[in-house]
Structure 1
Amino acid sequence: MEWTMSTMRWTAAAIPDQRGRVVVVTGANSGLGLVTARELARAGAHVVLTARNPQRGARALDEIKNVVPGASLDLRGLDLADLSSVRQFAEGLAQRYDSLDLLVNNAGVMRFPYRKTVDGFELQFGTNHIGHFALTGRLAGLLTKRPGSRVVTVSSIAAQRGRLDFDNLESEREYDKKAAYANSKLANLLFAFELGRRLPQVASYAAHPGFSATNLQGAAARHTGNRLMELTTALINRIGAQDMEIGALPILYAATYPDLPAGSYIGPDGPREFSGYPTIVPAPRAAHDEDLARRLWNVSETLTGVRLQTT
């Protein structure tokens, strides 16, 4: 297929045959992760779904099986806000699988009041960046065993507002939940592009879903019992957001489109990248700062104790 997106709208129906591929999708129990896992399974992939909550994970597994009879699935627990959980997940995966074709770093939290992970990191930075950094590092050995393997890291249009201050990396001073989320999403981009430079045998891409109606926006309100904010978020989603079936397409495109240029960032093709069908989009200038990316990588190694494990 000739590489062009200006003349056609790519949808999940165009996903190439995924039979024989083993893929991991983090946060696959709901929203974009659930859609991504379901469509990869529909295309024939063996999908390892991860979920922090076992009951929600089981419901997602059943939902996919109902829509895709005969789907090849494996449900495993993973809490990205707990580095011991990341280690246990990676060790368990290595015992079951000899290699890995695709890792989709999708799970995340958004605009939470100040909280800390099990290991003491600010929750959004710790979950969205640190957890996925550690997970990818621990799974790198499985990924390098498969020619054509990929890592897709899910960022956000909020990354455009991200700023990394290494003297306040976890936003502990004058905490702003929106800024902390944006910073974590910029970190996702810096990580994705630096991974491609450090591990060129594995194709590393980034994607963002635009403004899509998922449960991510309202999760903080539900956890804090802010019913008014939860209802407001639901209304905004209903009025202004695109369906998550469309929102997942950039992730699926980055995960499966043949011969995608190295280091591509995929997002919606509509105005301001809020909605639309997948296309290559420009990343924020800061995301291409290689000195910044190296510094973040080195700090992340120190914080997690994890380095790329390629053997």
Structure 2
Amino acid sequence: MEGSIAHPSSTRIAVVTGANKGIGLEVCQQLASAGVTVVLTARDEKRGGEAIEKLKALGLSGGVIFHQLEITDASSIAALAEFVKARFGKLDILVNNAAVAGVEYIQEFDHEKFGGLDFDKRLEWMMTNVLETTEAAKETLQTNYYGTRNVIKALLPVLLLSSSEGRIVNVSSEFGRLILISNEKVRQKLNDIDNLTEEALDELLDKFLKDFEAGALEANGWSSGFAAYKVSKAALNAYTRIMARRHPALRINCAHPGYVNTQMTMSTGVLTPQEGASNVVKVGLLPQGGPTGVYFAQGQEASFL
């Protein structure tokens, strides 16, 4: 399903992946409220259409359009890239929000029973109420890292046509920080941006999956508990830095929105989706000449370590 929007050439154009609910939907709302024309994407056309209707009810129908996107499907990515080029002839902001948690949830968070827990206790509860499988780990890497990487590559040509320094915001996580990987060699490789390559990242992820299948994560220095999610975000952070060096004309950054109350966090988060989205949008709307290759935690520059 696609809509039609008339826009002057000076209007900024944004694409937001995984945007039919949660943080992604709020990012679309906030960007549109700032005068940006937004392409809201989602895997499911029905859910995407319902998201558009929600935004219409808020009076934002003139600034948001839907296009289907499955970031693990090459043909779907290509169709989006062709659409953006044909309709707008450029892209100014790409927010890569689509992601999966890589776990199966054992039980629902009971706010009546556990609602009084503080931040650390809520996080501990979530970490101990999930099941991790090999298939889920593979899906997580394919979605969070490879899918996002493929979207970036497909939309890069239209981002380079932006007249206002095209921006890429990769939605990251506290779980992607390198301190969570105890294997010093792996940590050093991911932090050695002057020499790190996409091929080296592929090798590291292959090694992670082999260790996962062998039940040897902790023995080989990988973090347990949301293991695939953590590694996928660490790899995405590293790729962000690689791309920032490779394309200095663009502003390419990571944004950790905070511990947000969404389906992915089993509703244990302490921030609202609106608050989390504002931390992402802030990075997407940085002024020209702003930082690139940087990790932002809740809107503030922070360390990848």
Counterpart CA distance in 1 for 2:271 and 2:245 is 33
In the TM superposition, what is the alpha-carbon distance from 1:19 to its structure 2 partner?
Answer: 6.6
1:124 aligns with 2:140: yes
Match in the other structure for 1:185? 233
Contact 2:256 2:280 in 1 (8 A): yes
Match in the other structure for 1:215? 263
Write the deviation string for residues 3-43 of structure 1: whole angstroms up to 9, x where unpaired.
xxxxxxxxxxxxxxx97001000011011111101010011
1:266 aligns with 2:282: no
Gaps in structure 1 of 5+ consecutive residues: 1-17, 218-232, 269-277, 285-311
1:76 aligns with 2:99: no
- Root-mean-square deviation (CA, aligned residues, Å) is 2.3
Q: Name the SS for the 2:252 alignment partner.
A: strand
Percent sequence identity over aligned pairs: 30
1:279 aligns with 2:300: yes
Counterpart CA distance in 1 for 2:206 and 2:54 is 45
The correspondence for 2:89, drawn from 61, 73, 98, is: 98
Match in the other structure for 1:138? 154
Match in the other structure for 1:245? 274
Match in the other structure for 2:28? 37
Match in the other structure for 2:133? 114
1:91 and 1:39, CA in 2 relative to 1: closer, same or farther beyond 3 A? same
Match in the other structure for 2:40? 49
Q: Name the SS for the 1:212 alignment partner.
A: coil
In the TM superposition, what is the alpha-carbon distance from 1:200 to its structure 2 partner?
Answer: 1.3
1:154 aligns with 2:145: no
Write the deviation string for residues 79-135 of structure 1: whole angstroms up to 9, x where unpaired.
112233222322333232311001001110003243659xxx911110011011011
In the TM superposition, what is the alpha-carbon distance from 1:215 to its structure 2 partner?
Answer: 1.6
Contact 2:257 2:276 in 1 (8 A): yes
In the TM superposition, what is the alpha-carbon distance from 1:192 to its structure 2 partner?
Answer: 0.9
In the TM superposition, what is the alpha-carbon distance from 1:263 to its structure 2 partner?
Answer: 2.0
Gaps in structure 2 of 5+ consecutive residues: 1-8, 104-131, 187-203, 218-223
Larger radius of gyration: 2
Provide the TM-score with structure 1 as the length reference.
0.70
Q: Name the SS for the 1:213 alignment partner.
A: coil
Runs of 4+ in 1 over 4 A off after TM superposition: none
Question: What is the letter of the counterpart of residue 109 of structure 1?
Answer: V
Match in the other structure for 1:15? none
Aligned length in residues: 236
Match in the other structure for 1:22? 13
